[in-house]
Amino acid sequence: MLSKTMEKALNEQINKEMFSSYLYLAMSAYLSTQYLEGFAKFFKVQSQEEMGHAMKLFGYINERGGQVVLDKIDKPQTNYKDIEEIFAQTLEHEKFITKSIHALVELAIQEKDHASKNFLDWYVNEQVEEEANMDNWLAKIKMVGNKGQALIMLDVHAGQRG
Ligand code: OFO
């Protein structure tokens, strides 16, 4: 059985993961208006992954006899300066999510909730990948100077994400 504190903290994480999904879907919509269809697809896939992260927590809370309580999801930003701003914000957002996951792990340790600690390890590893991936894309976009033919090539590459 989950403690009430852990149940509340995991529910808050569901909201953060759902906001991530919403945020990346908003980015995808914006990128479509910029004719960057590859990046638009990339963020649509990312959005679906985030919903998967939320649903994994949803399943875990249920499995441990807790109750999922869904909260309001904040409105994401609609317009962006350019693709560099999008990846810079994405990297910052992922760092924020990493901190949130680490705080959950610390809570699990404090409560001697070994099952939750074990469950959360998957997210710890996932965040290493998420940050590295976004950092990599941001570096590449900076390299090509955010425009021109090289950006079109990166767009094609981004669209290959399955
Ligand atoms: Fe769920 O990892 Fe990104 O936000």
**88-118: pLDDT as tens digits:** 999 999 999 999 999 999 999 999 999 999 9
Which 3-state string (H, E, C) describes the chain? Answer: CCCHHHHHHHHHHHHHHHHHHHHHHHHHHHHHHCCCHHHHHHHHHHHHHHHHHHHHHHHHHHHCCCCCCCCCCCCCCCCCCCHHHHHHHHHHHHHHHHHHHHHHHHHHHHCCCHHHHHHHHHHHHHHHHHHHHHHHHHHHHHHHCCCHHHHHHHHHHHCCCC
Averaged pLDDT of the chain: 96
Does the Cβ of 16 fall within 6 Å of ligand 1?
Answer: no
**123-154: pLDDT as tens digits:** 999 999 999 999 999 999 999 887 789 999 99
pTM above 0.75, yes or no: yes
Residue from 50, 58, 120 whose mutation best tests the ligand 1 pocket (most atoms within 8 A of CB): 50
Distance 92 CA to ligand 1 centre (A): 11
**54-83: pLDDT as tens digits:** 999 999 999 999 999 999 999 999 999 999
